[in-house]
Amino acid sequence: MNEIVLETRHLVRRFGAFLATNDVSLKVERGARHALIGPNGAGKTTLINLLTGVLPPSEGQVFLEGEDITSMASFRRVKRGLTRTFQINQLFNEFTPLETVALAIAEREGVGHNLWRSIAGYGKVVDEAADLLARFGLASVMGERTVILPYGKQRLLEIALAFASKPRVLLLDEPAAGVPEDERHEVLQIVSDLPADVTVLLIEHDMDLVFSFANRISVLVAGAVFVEGTVAEISNDPRVKAVYLGENA
Amino acid sequence: MSVLPQETTVSANSSTAAAEARAAKLMKRRSRIRFYEIIVWIAAIAAYFLLPSKMLILTEIAILALFAVSLDLVLGFAGIVSLGHTAFFGLGAYVAGLMAQHYFAEPVTGLIVAGVASGVLGLLTSFLILRGSDLTRLMTTLGIGLMMAEVANQMAWLTGGADGLSGFSPGPILGMFEFDLFGKVGYLYCVGVLFIGTMIMRRIAFSPFGLSLKAIKGNSMRSAMVAVPGRKRIVTAYTIAAVFAGMAGALLTQTTAFVSPDVLAFHRSADVLLVLVIGGTGYLYGGIFGAILFTLVKDWLSVITPQYWMFYIGLLLVILVLIGRDRLSRWVEYLPERLSKKEDR
């Protein structure tokens, strides 16, 4: 359990004079369920953007399985097993869910550059896409345009799409955000059913979910790691209660 | 379909099998030949027999259609806007002319050489459109188009400058079919090239590559997050589009036995964009439908109002964009095909 799969060293990101990420050094162990919590504007999503290459850091480094990926393009990080979901759905509106996940599977299998064969000819890709959608309860809508799906279904697709890349490290940015109460359990079930060898870094505001899911928690305040520890340590830390839990109450 | 663990293995397996079967069916249906496609090609052949006196305008339509279909591959699929697509059309036209004049008059050879030349230019200039917004891309492509026009104008020793290239005659196609005075052979030749070109681009459209292009257009950030190498795909698509645009230019040269500096004029880039707006983007046949409509309307307007036809083209454009904002890429959904789609749901 001690192998570090994802690590940042003195990561800094500035937007003008604003310090969104302030000297963050984070270590995530293989198979960890690591939660990242903190008040709004603490820089959680910025950190995820730095980890996945959506934003370049102003200073510092990012390591994936010991390799420096600081200046690596996003798509290469995904190929190396690091992927994410987005807080606000980032889907292909005109695609069907089937096309959406088939695309990710085709890219993962290295056939995405083929421009001569119809996707229908890749039986394994299509079968896997169907299985994945069935697992997420999306089989009945696989042929609809994504944009017309109910929000809960889109949210499931958002997560299914990250799964389609078979990540070894998965960053979940508030997976249950905006999901109606009656569809929430589906999303939470999916998240807690993740294979044990997949490392998960989770951003979440729902404290019940964080405390039941995570085995390690980092609290981010004003761009910096305020405190880090086990669930027991964090939930009993009076300072955390003051800056974070207190604010929510 | 539930994700809850109490679901029995048997029902999970059968629902998975059902999902796989449905997915296979949906994927096959995606790329099947549509009703309107068959109509297009039958109409193209029928026109040869029914409208023998209209060969020239029909040839013009076929050439413009190939040009527009090639632009759709970058605009409608990869979402790359261009105001300089005629750089490739024009280069192809000149290369085909120079081939016929100096080297080898057989048209298919000239066509391929022109396509390769334009493809090389496409590959080289594709790196300029990778960065930036739509506006920077419009300006970059416009700039390349203008530069090409000026180069052709200045290199008069090669291109004939403002006079253009003439005094050559394309040989028989594949050494067998001589171009005739009525343009019948020329028409069939252009329709043949349009057909092959469209079929090739159609295959590309339904491939994983084609899907990844649409993903880049739909959401480039997310496409990177499912491991799509965006820049590489755009470079490839832009190069392929340049090849077919160059071939369209070559067809114009070969069927008219003349290259005018007009092949690189800005209005051609604008026209071809207009054609796609009229026909719809993202399904290739929009280039063909648009070329038919654009050419016929232009022809009709220039007869009834020779001096002001541009006004009506402009008016048509404004109306189309106003009423069809979201529908521009979806005209196809209003075709009868749509009716048969319901039963599968």
The position carrying tokens 């795909």 is: B233
End-to-end CA distance of chain B: 17
Answer yes or no: do A178 and A158 share one domain.
Answer: no
Chain B segment 3-22 residues within 8 A of A by beta carbon are 3-5, 15-16, 18-20, 22
Asked whether the predicted pLDDT for residue B338 surpasses 90, the reply is no
Is residue B92 within 8 A of residue B250, CB to CB? The reply is yes
The per-type count for chain A, helices as H runs and strands as E runs, is 10, 10
Rounded-to-integer distance, Cα B176 and Cα B293, Å: 33
From A166, A197, A226, give the residue that closes a domain: A166
- Residue A151 sits at the vertex; the CA angle it makes with A145 and A153, to the nearest 5 degrees, is 65
**Residue B306 confidence (pLDDT):** 80
Asked whether the predicted pLDDT for residue A195 surpasses 90, the reply is no
The total of other beta-carbon atoms located within 10 Å of residue B343's CB is 6
Indicate which CATH number applies to the domain containing A224.
Answer: 3.40.50.300
**Residue B185 confidence (pLDDT):** 94
* B211 contacts in chain A (CB < 8 Å): 99, 102-103, 106, 119
Answer yes or no: do A188 and A247 share one domain.
Answer: yes
Q: Can you name the residues that pair with A229 across neighbouring β-strands?
A: A217
From A147, A166, A185, give the residue that closes a domain: A166
Whether residue A211 lies within 8 A of chain B, CB to CB, comes out as: no
Answer yes or no: do A247 and A189 share one domain.
Answer: yes
| pLDDT averaged over every residue in chain B | 88
Answer yes or no: do A157 and A177 share one domain.
Answer: no
Residue B20 forms part of a structural domain: no
Answer yes or no: do A178 and A152 share one domain.
Answer: no
Whether residue B27 lies within 8 A of chain A, CB to CB, comes out as: yes
Rounded-to-integer distance, Cα B114 and Cα B121, Å: 11
Whether residue A242 lies within 8 A of chain B, CB to CB, comes out as: no
The 10s digit of each residue's pLDDT in B73-112 is 999 999 999 999 999 999 999 999 999 999 888 999 999 9
Question: What would the mean pLDDT of B258-278 be, rounded to a whole number?
Answer: 92
Best of B27, B33, B77, B236 to mutate (most A CBs within 10 Å, chain A): B27
Question: What would the mean pLDDT of A171-193 be, rounded to a whole number?
Answer: 83
Out of A52-61, A90-99, B303-312, which region has the weakest mean confidence (pLDDT)? B303-312
Residue range of the domain that includes A224: 1-81+167-249
* B241 contacts in chain A (CB < 8 Å): none
Residue B25 forms part of a structural domain: no
> How buried is A206 (Cβ within 10 angstroms: 0-12 exposed, 13-18 middle, 19+ buried)?
middle
Residue A70 forms part of a structural domain: yes
The 10s digit of each residue's pLDDT in A160-169 is 999 999 999 9
Asked whether the predicted pLDDT for residue B343 surpasses 70, the reply is no
Number of domains composing chain B = 1
Look at A115 and B16 and tell me if their CB atoms are within 8 Å.
no
Residue B8 forms part of a structural domain: no
Alpha helices, DSSP H only, in chain B? Answer: 9-30, 35-50, 55-72, 86-98, 107-126, 134-154, 156-159, 184-205, 208-218, 220-225, 230-256, 266-279, 285-304, 309-324, 337-341
Whether residue A94 lies within 8 A of chain B, CB to CB, comes out as: yes
**Residue A246 confidence (pLDDT):** 53
Residue B228 forms part of a structural domain: yes
Question: What would the mean pLDDT of B308-331 be, rounded to a whole number?
Answer: 72
What are the structure tokens assigned to B133, written together?
């917004």
Look at A135 and B26 and tell me if their CB atoms are within 8 Å.
no
**Residue A39 confidence (pLDDT):** 86
Task: Measure the CA dihedral A103/A106/A107/A108, to 10°.
Answer: 120
Answer yes or no: do A77 and A184 share one domain.
Answer: yes
Residue range of the domain that includes B259: 32-344
Is residue B282 within 8 A of residue B322, CB to CB? The reply is no
**Residue A130 confidence (pLDDT):** 96
User: In percent, how much of chain A has pLDDT > 90?
Assistant: 69
From A117, A149, A166, give the residue that closes a domain: A166
Asked whether the predicted pLDDT for residue B326 surpasses 70, the reply is no
End-to-end CA distance of chain A: 35
Is residue B112 within 8 A of residue B250, CB to CB? The reply is no
> How buried is B267 (Cβ within 10 angstroms: 0-12 exposed, 13-18 middle, 19+ buried)?
exposed
Answer yes or no: do A183 and A132 share one domain.
Answer: no
Question: Minimal Cα–Cα distance from A217 to chain B, Å?
Answer: 25
**Residue B168 confidence (pLDDT):** 87
Answer yes or no: do A1 and A31 share one domain.
Answer: yes
The 10s digit of each residue's pLDDT in A204-234 is 887 878 888 889 999 999 899 988 999 888 8
Indicate which CATH number applies to the domain containing B110.
Answer: 1.10.3470
- Read off the DSSP letter of residue B187: H
Answer yes or no: do A188 and A75 share one domain.
Answer: yes
Number of domains composing chain A = 2
Closest-CA residue of B relative to A110 is: B227
Asked whether the predicted pLDDT for residue A1 surpasses 70, the reply is no
Closest CB to B209 among A113, A140, A161 = A113
Answer yes or no: do A35 and A135 share one domain.
Answer: no
Look at B24 and A120 and tell me if their CB atoms are within 8 Å.
yes
Closest CB to A131 among B20, B30, B206 = B20
Out of B10-19, B42-51, B305-314, which region has the weakest mean confidence (pLDDT)? B10-19
Rounded-to-integer distance, Cα B113 and Cα B117, Å: 6
What is the phi/psi pair of residue B314, to 5°? -65, -45
What are the structure tokens assigned to A178, written together?
């905006």
Closest CB to A106 among B31, B208, B233 = B208
Residue A86 forms part of a structural domain: no
Question: What would the mean pLDDT of B295-311 be, rounded to a whole number?
Answer: 86
Answer yes or no: do A161 and A172 share one domain.
Answer: no
Rounded-to-integer distance, Cα B296 and Cα B315, Å: 16
Asked whether the predicted pLDDT for residue B163 surpasses 90, the reply is no
The position carrying tokens 């004079």 is: A17
Residue-by-residue DSSP string for A70-109 = TT--HHHHHHTTEEE--SS----TTS-HHHHHHHHHHHHT
Asked whether the predicted pLDDT for residue B11 surpasses 60, the reply is no
**Residue B333 confidence (pLDDT):** 56
Best of B2, B3, B216, B345 to mutate (most A CBs within 10 Å, chain A): B3
Is residue B279 within 8 A of residue B291, CB to CB? The reply is yes
B79, amino acid identity: G
Rounded-to-integer distance, Cα B125 and Cα B260, Å: 23
Answer yes or no: do A160 and A171 share one domain.
Answer: no
What is the phi/psi pair of residue B209, to 5°? -60, -45
Q: Is A38 left (phi over 0), alpha (psi -120 to 50) or beta?
A: left
The 10s digit of each residue's pLDDT in B139-160 is 999 999 999 999 999 998 998 8
